Structure 1
Amino acid sequence: MASSSRCALFFFFLEVAVAIALLLPSGHARVCPPCGSTEVPYPLSTADGCGDPDYKISRIARARETVADPTTRLSLLEAWSSVQVFLFGVDKIKLWSLTWRIVCGLGGALVVAAAGLFAYRRQQRIRQARERLAKEREEILNANNSSGRTAKNFSGRELRRATANFSRDNLLGAGGYGEVYRGVLADGTVVAVKCAKLGNTKSTDQVLNEVRVLSQVNHRSLVRLLGCCVDLEQPLMVYEFIPNGTLADHLHGALSRPPLPWRQRLAIAHQTAEGIAYLHSSAVPPIYHRDIKSSNILLDERLRGKVSDFGLSRLAEQGLSHVSTCAQGTLGYLDPEYYRNYQLTDKSDVYSFGVVLLELLTSQRAIDFGRGADDVNLAGHVQRAADEERLMDVVDQALQGGATRLERDTMKALGLLALGCLEERRQNRPSMKEVAEEIEYIMNIEAGNAGLKDLES
């Protein structure tokens, strides 16, 4: 039985090889009626001794239709057995030519089969790896999510279509985390799609962390998360599209002319402070942003401020006054006490926000080597001016020109509040809730309650 199976397998491969070598048309190599205990594939025919233990295969033709007389068929094999080689009775040149064509055909068939099997197994491994990766990322996103809310899961195909396959024409910006693209979903919703850097594990972790944090919060002054995608090699997050760039763009970037009016700056400061205060006081557990800066404050169509980029954010630990972690953030905004002690608290965000307030007052960058060696750091630059009782000298002259005395008083008040946020010891800094209340008080002085309602509506 085993011998019969081996014979059948041999003739199967021989049939394939002959079909390739002789260029037979599709369907031409058919199976003849059973002969003995095996089936001999056409165009092979057996000799009179068919049925003997050693099968006699004597003739081969290129096509049944072209051979009128069976005796004219080319004699291919005189005898074959499990221990014998093929014996041919034809011209040696023709014999070797035909032999090599058969061997090459058989080899080619095996190579094609092996390549197909390899490609299939490789695609299977890639698909399984992607499924495992997506599952692991979903578990990461659901970990420590006390709110029970989860982000909508977009497919990679859906986001490729929305961004025109991540066309450079749709690129909104890029940074250490990766890139942000403008996209349009199938229902017409305009979104921003944030991509982690390909192959950068740290960037990937930051995007996953941002999705996890934003899934737990909901405030008008925080950028709104719409969903995420975890089935591609780099994870993506999808959030509301904010059309007017960042606060940094409007203070000292491409959108800084004309300058933002003072009342608008106060409103942005108040909106941002309320968003951060929500993270510290209303979120459960509290959230420390860890990277508050003007380039992470987005402005919507009405120039209302929204805090974004939660990639470095950390959740507060219950019963602990701080989170022990390596200092991360942006130079010029980084809390010096956090940098020294590796103790992250809500007051670390307060310090960073104090620098943002100084940017709103001065329209200058947090770090600027053009200011001179002693004034590179904006916080130190303004603190030195305040110590010398010339705080108003560093306030943007474009704001002071035409300003009323009351407006200049509110500028000074905001400057003093900013310096309070920058106190060396964190115990001496106000909370973000207190900062938001103080800014609201300054706005009431400057514009009255009616003006405040108009700005916040």
Structure 2
Amino acid sequence: MGSTTHTNFLHALIMFSFIFFGFTSARDTITSSQFITGSETISSSDSVFKLGFFSPQNSTNRYVGIWYLSESDITVIWIANRNQPLLDSSGTLKISGDGNLVLLDGKDQLVWSSNVSTNMANSSTAQLLRSGNLVLQDNITGQTIWESFKHPCDAAVPTMRISANRITGEKTRFISRKSASDPSTGSFSASLERLDAPEVFFWVNGTRPFWRTGPWNGRIFIGTTMMSTGYLYGWSVGYEGNETVYLTYSFADQSAFGILSLTPIGKLRLLRYYNRKQVLDIELEISDCDVYGVCGPFGSCNTQNSPICSCLSGYEPRNLEEWKRQNWTSGCVRKEPLKCERMRKNGSEVVAGQVQEDDGFLKLATMKVPDFAERLDVEEEQCGPQCLKNCSCLAYAFDTGIGCLYWITDLIDLQQFSSGGVDLFIRLPHSELKNAVNNHKSSRKNTLIIAVTVGAAGAIILAACAYLAICAKHTRKRRVKDSENQSHRLIGVKKQVKLDEHELPLFDFEVVATATNNFHLSNTLGKGGFGPVYKGLLPDGQEIAVKRLSRASGQGAEEFMNEVAVISKLQHRNLVRLLGCCIDGDEKMLVYEFMPNKSLDAFIFDPLQRKLLDWTKRFNIIEGIARGILYLHRDSRLRIIHRDLKASNILLDAEMNPKISDFGLARIYKGEDEVNTRRVVGTYGYMAPEYAMEGLFSEKSDVYSFGVLLLEIVSGRRNTSFRNHEKSLSLIGFAWRLWNEDDIRSLIDSDISDLGSGSENHILRCIHIAFLCVQEVAKERPPMTSVVSMLNSDETFHLPPPKQVAFVHKQYSSSLESSSQENQCNSNNNVTLTEIRGR
């Protein structure tokens, strides 16, 4: 009787497996003549993984997926058609005529495809490997042309690579399910970010940071206590050349296995197995302090305190009333300025002999490091002194696995742990250091670090900062002389540049004139609204670009002053670096780093040069511009609207990396939705409609300009000089007409040489993003945070349909037309200046 019962149980188990997961088969491949349908499956050679049709719990929808078989449960690790379920029991997974792996419904309509460009009719197979990876291979060459590991859903398994490419911006992105019964894309995602010090970011709706792990130091992520060394056993960060960074994990013991998944509510679930028996099932909890930026800039979170948020020493709440209501997102502001900031404000007094006491550092132990860390290649003992030399450096930390980290942007997403983390050293003025000692004298976790002086160059740096203050205030129009030792002062400026590349010296007129061969015509790089730009060579061999204010310039001292004030406070890889300024009588000059490939318009609008820009290079330029704008809008110490983004203001370095330039028209703003101005400045064709017509500008004004730039880069055509048989159309209008006629592919520049199907789809996605940026209504344009996210997301990330775009037809405002007729010279910098007056 017992034997009969046992037999019946086995029959029932087999029948259940047949109904829910399909027949067991030793076959591990799908070929042009062998497919799966209904309840059929294929298995990995060790029968650990299966591929077939399944329905989630409490759902009749059907999907194609891969699942892992343990002794106690079955866990789906990948789904092909997660956003397009089959609604009945029909469906076939097969190799199509062009060699792709495709899923067809009962009417032979395409539901899902591997979607790669192939010419492998009847010569490709799909194989389920022992790792759980489904690979599509060319049978003739053996090359893998597609794999499921590079297109994950919500789960990571051993040997899978979570990767990000520095050049293309492509990222492996994990996206949660909506629910246990609905595997379609949910609200949470995860990706590898900050590739100089890699860490994993978790996002809400693809654009808003939810929480982050902090940088990887070779053993652990130093910004979280949720994932201890034990949980991270087998994880590592690797590199493919200089382009790709990836995170992966594996086990030396082949009997071990793990599944790390992102749950529908944004948590991490870790399943561990040994010999296919489950040994661990845990969801890593997220505390209130793990939520990104919960305490705002310069605020620190501690779950042991009540309230959990407090300002760093030397800072106070920006909005005290909001803090009383426990809304901390406005963050904190410094109580007293740093030494170099005081010197900039009171430069003449410093030169007159007033003594300014040095800044120093306060040590905060067991901290989660802030976001936006920068790395410096120095030993631990040099990390603090190097930070102190840089007036923009607000904090530093050192981890033996990462090296020297420093921060020049607002300190955001700080947390104090009870254990773990790193020692973070925050920069404070001398007066606040004294207060910090008193406040923390009973605590062993906070240590005063006395400021390291710069030595003999200290007086030189004081003088240079004083000169910068004079330059920025424009209170002196005659040449500044050093009465003691002119030659020594020049040497001192050189020393200052070497000691601290972020300080801004005042160059002598003779130095700049000699560097440019007395502004010889042969050294002219271009000419814009500001005046001519010259190439120069300093005595130490450094190449420079000198922007010389023309006395007949329509901009003049105001724009000169504005550019100094704005860009001297900025530092980002996609912004041109200002090395110094020169004021000598009526002479006003800005000295920049030299960009050997000149400006973007010299390439994309030149019939020969644009052939050198394949799609990979063009997208690198697009992403770099977007990241530069995002820095201006969100990540810099100041929030800045550029107001004159255009191809001639995008410079290219030796590696064709883009750098935004010309901040003469930029505006610092305080987060207002819109600012009204009577003076409209910018360039015809790039200005948003609400700005050109009403004088209203905001972040969305730059977003509009970026959208125009994106269309120009994709098409190779100028927006301002676009010509076609319908002469009233602008480039935007022409592109919009093609979009509505389903002929948008004809917009793509025929000189893009690497136009495979993958590149074409990527370009079409960028055009879609451009249309979202040039929406007629400003509030319907995405912020740059969303733009960067959309550019870096894969095709499964849904883009909203664009609504009516702005300026479909050319602008016929006489004031705009007369002020903005661009000629065909590269790097033209014509500027529109329009007064908005009431009728």
TM normalised by structure 2 equals 0.35
**Matched residue type, 2:694:** N
Separation in 2, partners of 1:166, 1:320: 42
Shift of 1:137: 4.4
For residue 588 of structure 2, what is the aligned residue in structure 1? 235
1:262 aligns with 2:615: yes
3-state SS, counterpart of residue 592 of structure 2: strand
Contact map agreement 1:134 1:231 (CA 8 A) in 2: no
3-state SS, counterpart of residue 734 of structure 2: helix
1:168 aligns with 2:521: yes
Contact map agreement 1:155 1:229 (CA 8 A) in 2: yes
For residue 416 of structure 1, what is the aligned residue in structure 2? 768
Shift of 1:341: 2.2
Which of 554, 558, 575 in structure 2 is aligned with 1:222? 575
3-state SS, counterpart of residue 208 of structure 1: helix
Which of 783, 787, 791 in structure 2 is aligned with 1:435? 787
Shift of 1:244: 0.4
Which of 140, 147, 153 in structure 1 is aligned with 2:506? 153
Shift of 1:187: 1.5
For residue 203 of structure 1, what is the aligned residue in structure 2? 556
Which of 750, 757, 781 in structure 2 is aligned with 1:405? 757
Shift of 1:134: 10
Structure 1 or 2: more strand by fraction: 2
Separation in 2, partners of 1:389, 1:279: 35
Shift of 1:207: 2.2
Return closer, same or farther for 1:216/1:393 CA change in 2, 3 Å cut-off: same
Shift of 1:347: 0.5
3-state SS, counterpart of residue 245 of structure 1: coil
Which of 323, 347, 359 in structure 1 is aligned with 2:675? 323
Shift of 1:364: 0.5
For residue 395 of structure 1, what is the aligned residue in structure 2? 748
3-state SS, counterpart of residue 704 of structure 2: helix
Give CA deviations for 1:400-435 in whole Å, capped at 9, x if unaligned.
x66221211111100000000000111111111211
Shift of 1:373: 4.3
Flag structure 1 segments of 5+ consecutive residues without an equivalent.
Answer: 1-132, 143-148, 446-457
For residue 342 of structure 1, what is the aligned residue in structure 2? 695
Contact map agreement 2:579 2:592 (CA 8 A) in 1: yes
**Matched residue type, 1:170:** N
Separation in 2, partners of 1:297, 1:435: 18
Return closer, same or farther for 1:443/1:330 CA change in 2, 3 Å cut-off: farther
1:237-316 to structure 2, matched below 5 A, reads 237-253=590-606, 256-316=609-669
Return closer, same or farther for 1:239/1:301 CA change in 2, 3 Å cut-off: same
3-state SS, counterpart of residue 686 of structure 2: coil
Return closer, same or farther for 1:311/1:138 CA change in 2, 3 Å cut-off: closer
For residue 407 of structure 2, what is the aligned residue in structure 1? none
Separation in 1, partners of 2:475, 2:777: 35
For residue 18 of structure 1, what is the aligned residue in structure 2? none
Contact map agreement 1:374 1:381 (CA 8 A) in 2: no
Return closer, same or farther for 1:373/1:254 CA change in 2, 3 Å cut-off: closer
**Matched residue type, 1:354:** G
Which of 756, 774, 777 in structure 2 is aligned with 1:425? 777
Shift of 1:254: 6.9
**Matched residue type, 1:179:** P
Contact map agreement 2:468 2:505 (CA 8 A) in 1: no
Separation in 2, partners of 1:135, 1:313: 19
Separation in 2, partners of 1:235, 1:151: 15
Shift of 1:190: 0.7
3-state SS, counterpart of residue 154 of structure 1: coil
Give CA deviations for 1:17-55 in whole Å, capped at 9, x if unaligned.
xxxxxxxxxxxxxxxxxxxxxxxxxxxxxxxxxxxxxxx
Separation in 1, partners of 2:727, 2:560: 37
Contact map agreement 2:507 2:580 (CA 8 A) in 1: yes
Which of 122, 139, 151 in structure 1 is aligned with 2:473? 139
Return closer, same or farther for 1:343/1:235 CA change in 2, 3 Å cut-off: same
3-state SS, counterpart of residue 682 of structure 2: coil
Shift of 1:267: 0.7
3-state SS, counterpart of residue 359 of structure 1: helix
Shift of 1:339: 1.5
3-state SS, counterpart of residue 398 of structure 1: coil
Shift of 1:194: 0.3
Q: Which moved more, 1:281-290 or 1:342-351?
A: 281-290
Separation in 1, partners of 2:646, 2:727: 22
1:330-369 to structure 2, matched below 5 A, reads 330-369=683-722
Separation in 2, partners of 1:319, 1:438: 23
Q: Which moved more, 1:220-229 or 1:250-259?
A: 250-259
Shift of 1:232: 3.6
Separation in 2, partners of 1:301, 1:443: 31
For residue 7 of structure 1, what is the aligned residue in structure 2? none
Separation in 1, partners of 2:700, 2:661: 19
Q: Which moved more, 1:274-283 or 1:192-201?
A: 192-201
Return closer, same or farther for 1:134/1:190 CA change in 2, 3 Å cut-off: closer
Return closer, same or farther for 1:319/1:402 CA change in 2, 3 Å cut-off: closer
Return closer, same or farther for 1:328/1:311 CA change in 2, 3 Å cut-off: same
CA-atom RMSD in angstroms:
2.5
Q: Whose radius of gyration is greater, 1 or 2? A: 1
**Matched residue type, 1:417:** I
**Matched residue type, 1:282:** D
For residue 181 of structure 1, what is the aligned residue in structure 2? 534
**Matched residue type, 2:606:** G
**Matched residue type, 1:267:** N
Contact map agreement 2:626 2:787 (CA 8 A) in 1: yes
Shift of 1:154: 0.5
For residue 380 of structure 1, what is the aligned residue in structure 2? 733
Contact map agreement 1:266 1:443 (CA 8 A) in 2: no
Shift of 1:295: 1.1
Contact map agreement 2:615 2:754 (CA 8 A) in 1: no
**Matched residue type, 2:533:** V
Shift of 1:369: 4.9
Shift of 1:340: 2.1
3-state SS, counterpart of residue 408 of structure 1: helix
Return closer, same or farther for 1:202/1:368 CA change in 2, 3 Å cut-off: closer
Shift of 1:151: 2.4
Return closer, same or farther for 1:396/1:444 CA change in 2, 3 Å cut-off: farther
Separation in 1, partners of 2:529, 2:794: 36
Shift of 1:135: 8.4
Shift of 1:140: 4.6
Separation in 1, partners of 2:577, 2:622: 19
Separation in 1, partners of 2:475, 2:788: 31
Contact map agreement 1:182 1:191 (CA 8 A) in 2: yes
Q: How many residues align?
A: 305
Relative contact order (C-alpha < 8 Å, sep 6+): which is higher?
1
Return closer, same or farther for 1:436/1:134 CA change in 2, 3 Å cut-off: closer
Structure 1 or 2: more helix by fraction: 1
3-state SS, counterpart of residue 287 of structure 1: strand
Shift of 1:263: 0.9
| Identity between Structure 1 and Structure 2 (%) | 36
**Matched residue type, 2:572:** H
Return closer, same or farther for 1:388/1:212 CA change in 2, 3 Å cut-off: same
Contact map agreement 2:720 2:730 (CA 8 A) in 1: yes
